[in-house]
Structure 1
Amino acid sequence: MRCPRCDSTENRVVDTRTSRGGRAVRRRRECLSCQSRFTTYEYVEERPIQVLKRAGSSEEFDRVKLLRAIGTACAKRPVSMAQVEAIADEIEDALSKEAGLEVPSQLIGELVMLRLKPLDRVAYVRFASVYRDFQDEDEFQEFVREMKERGERELQQLHQSELPLW
């Protein structure tokens, strides 16, 4: 590894840590010629995942695009950037473990919704409103009504399964 300051290849590793949930190795290095310190990262070279779009075209998976979509849904909500990045990490990991390297965009959308729903219901509805591409207000209202009904049913089931508190 060449020093970014003096271009020397003589350096030593000062510290090594995992990063990005164990998907990368971060190394702090010290140049033996000029004593400057710099950081390097090691990643496994992965074959890119192709996302099959609804219109039939395909494009390479874009983590930044995924982060932006999740972040937009979570804007001004009590969801931290670390939580948004954790969702993106989980989805990227799940996609990279798929047998095929072509994944329909619908699967990505469903994975995001699956992770947003328990985290923040408003962010879930925001994401769904874009992802599901509602054509009019009635479709959107129907979605929200169904979501409320499912939530009420789940709450009733929870109350029925609880033991009396006396």
Structure 2
Amino acid sequence: MRCPYCGYPDTRVIDSRPAEDRSSIRRRRSCDECGKRFTTYEKVETIPVIVIKKDNNREQYDRAKIEAGVLRACYKRPVSAADIQKVVEAVEIEVFNREEKEIPSSEIGEIVMDKLKDLDPVAYVRFASVYREFKDVNTFMSELKKILDK
């Protein structure tokens, strides 16, 4: 592993343990050249999942897109970065556990909304308003009523 500080091509592993999500390994490393320490995460490579978009285009699953959507929904909300990462991880686990090579973006959106509903109701409504493309106030209000009735 190359050192991110000095670029030296050889580093030592000091400590290895499962990461919090239990799906990757956290490694503490030390550079023999500059002496600095850093952390890396090792994850098992999975079969690429293809996402079928609304317009029937296909693209490879991208965790960063899920993360960006959840971050936008949780903007200025009392939601910790750790909770956001847990939601993204839970969505990703659910998508990959289906063991399908292709998954519609609508299913991924529903999974994200389900996780956000438990995390923060305002973030859920924000995400739903973009995802479900609310056209007017009435559709927005009907979604709010669903939350309030529960």
TM normalised by structure 2 equals: 0.83
Q: How many residues are aligned here? A: 147
SS in 1 for 2:112: helix
Query: With structure 1 as the length reference, what TM-score do the two structures score?
Result: 0.76
CA distance in 2, matches of 1:21, 1:139: 36
How far is the alpha carbon of 1:143 from its aligned partner? Answer: 2.3
1:14 matched to 2:14? The reply is yes
Matched, 1:59 2:62: no
Larger deviation, residues 99-108 vs 41-50: 41-50
Deviation string for 1:131-154 (max 9, x for gaps)?
111122222222223332x32xxx
Partner in structure 1 of residue 35 of structure 2: 36
User: Displacement, 1:6?
Assistant: 4.4
**Cα distance in structure 1, aligned partners of 2:142 and 2:8:** 64
CA distance in 1, matches of 2:8, 2:143: 60
Question: What is the CA-CA distance between 1:31 and the residue it aligns to?
Answer: 5.3
Aligned to 1:137: 137
For structure 2, the 5+ residue unaligned runs are none
**Counterpart for residue 71 of structure 1:** 71
Paired residues of 1:28 and 1:37 also in contact (CA < 8 A): no
Q: Distance in 2 between matches of 1:18 and 1:71?
A: 25
CA separation in 2, counterparts of 1:30 and 1:98? 38
- Structure 1 segments unaligned to the other structure (5+ residues): 152-166
Question: Greater relative contact order (Cα 8 A, min sep 6): structure 1 or 2?
Answer: 2
Q: Give the aligned partner of residue 117 of structure 2.
A: 117
The amino acid that maps onto 1:138 is N
Runs of 4+ in 1 over 6 A off after TM superposition: none
Is residue 25–residue 43 contact of structure 1 (8 Å, CA) maintained in 2?
yes
Amino acid at match of 1:19: A
Indicate if the aligned counterparts of 1:5 and 1:36 stay in contact, CA closer than 8 A.
no
What secondary structure is seen at the aligned counterpart in 2 of 1:111?
helix
Letter in 2 for 1:72: R
Deviation at 1:88, TM superposition (A): 0.4
**Contact 2:91 2:115 (8 Å CA) reproduced:** no
Change (3 A) 1:20 1:136: same
User: Distance in 2 between the 1:95 and 1:57 partners?
Assistant: 18
Aligned to 2:102: 102
SS of 2:147's partner is helix
| Correspondence for 2:86 | 86
Q: Distance in 2 between matches of 1:127 and 1:6?
A: 43
